[in-house]
Structure 1
Amino acid sequence: MMKLINTIEIAPLKYSKETHELPESSDYPDPDEWFRKWEEAVSKLNIDFHAIQKDSYLVDIQTIDDENLQIILETNLKEINWAEFEDQIIAFGGGIVLKDDDEILIIPTCCGDIGNIKEWKKILDCKTLEWSEMWIGHPWIFYRKENGKVQFSDYSDVNLSELVDIKAVFEIDESELKNELEKVKQHQINFKNRISNILHKMNIKNAEKISKLMTGIE
């Protein structure tokens, strides 16, 4: 079954009040042993989270409780100049993850953020049968629609205009995508509302505006 997951990127050491070191993968040739050591180190930090897969800092926003969300907010906002907050606060890094039968097929890449959900919405509005680019960070991917299906390419660092023969690596039902997008859209709205409520409790002004900026909601 196909599923979309709305994620943000959480680098655990950023939220530690003490000095910690995470194990280097080069010290543990066995990836499973490295991951156990990594989880053990992370468990000693101030924030509790579970990444969607090994070697990832991407976390499903629905799994972050209010206590940990407040820690994230306090850390991200502690150096903000409130007179210029609209220019300094950006959306959380991360974005939409696509899973099918428990296999992750699309994951947001470098510089992708939670606001990139609008890129996924463009798929439903797309009228052409030609390949189109979807920004999920870099590298990015391409998609096209055909007979009720949405086909996706592999990741690419090359612009659409420079590619000659794009290959589809998998496809999903457009109707399933539409249903899943409605779900993650609501998850994002709920996440924005939770952030706004926590900011109010923290006595931070402009809580609603800040929550929209942090979640990429326009």
Structure 2
Amino acid sequence: MREHNDREFCSAFSGGYVLRIDNEDKIFPQCCSDLGCIESWQDLVTDQVQNYYQGHPTPVVSLMDNFIIFDLTIKETDDEKFVPTPLQTIVKVNREELATAVEEVQKELQNFSVKLNKINTDNQLGIDHIEKLLIFGQYD
């Protein structure tokens, strides 16, 4: 018999993060993306482009000077398409500006963590580290 709070049957909240440049949405989370994908954005600003994941399909990511380049080109042989269809297939973002944006998101996630923990306490849910589970998908 399972207990009501079996962590392995839970996952992080679906969704992800939109890359907005000059008030224009450029890159959207794709299939299987969740709030835990913030770690991929953190990796990008520390030059770990090989770790980038925000669902599938995934753009090809490279570094050039102080910029991160996303290539959203889809070949005819690719099974999946980006949703929504990108208006540009090459998106270039300043790494320092992205680092600032990632810091802002981390602050928002910290505030969200506080709210989740309050809900957990107020409702006596008894879910250990609810914020790690629902934001990052961490089961331990």
Choose from 99, 112, 115 the match for 1:194: 115
Q: Give yes or no for the alignment of 1:214 onto 2:140.
A: no
Choose from 40, 59, 62 the match for 1:144: 62
The residue type paired with residue 123 of structure 2 is M
Aligned pair count reads: 126
Q: Deviations over 1:134-182 (max 9, x none)?
A: 2111111121111111111116558xxxxxxxxx612111110111111
| Contact in 1 for aligned 2:59/2:71 (Cα 8 Å) | yes
Q: Which runs of 5+ in 2 are unaligned?
A: 80-88
Moved over 6 A (4+): none
In structure 2, how many angstroms separate the alpha carbons of the residues matched to 1:101 and 1:177?
12
Choose from 69, 72, 97 the match for 1:154: 72
User: Could you state the TM-score of these two structures normalised by the residue count of structure 1?
Assistant: 0.52
Q: Percent identity?
A: 25
Q: Deviations over 1:74-108 (max 9, x none)?
A: xxxxxxx5455211121000111111122210110
In structure 1, how many angstroms separate the alpha carbons of the residues matched to 2:4 and 2:63?
45
Structure 1 segment 116-135 matched on structure 2, within 5 A: 116-126=37-47, 132=50, 134-135=52-53
| Contact in 2 for aligned 1:139/1:155 (Cα 8 Å) | no
Q: Deviations over 1:11-48 (max 9, x none)?
A: xxxxxxxxxxxxxxxxxxxxxxxxxxxxxxxxxxxxxx
In structure 2, how many angstroms separate the alpha carbons of the residues matched to 1:213 and 1:183?
21
Q: Give yes or no for the alignment of 1:204 onto 2:122.
A: no
In structure 2, how many angstroms separate the alpha carbons of the residues matched to 1:109 and 1:122?
18
Q: What corresponds to 1:87 in structure 2? A: 8
SS at match of 1:139: coil
In structure 1, how many angstroms separate the alpha carbons of the residues matched to 2:25 and 2:137?
25
Q: Which runs of 5+ in 1 are unaligned?
A: 1-80, 159-167
Q: Compare relative contact order (CA 8 Å, sep 6+) and give the higher one, 1 or 2.
A: 2
The CA RMSD measured in Å over matched residues stands at 2.4
Q: What corresponds to 2:85 in structure 1? A: none
Against the structure 1 CA distance between its residues 171 and 86, is the aligned structure 2 distance closer, same or farther, given a 3 Å change threshold? same
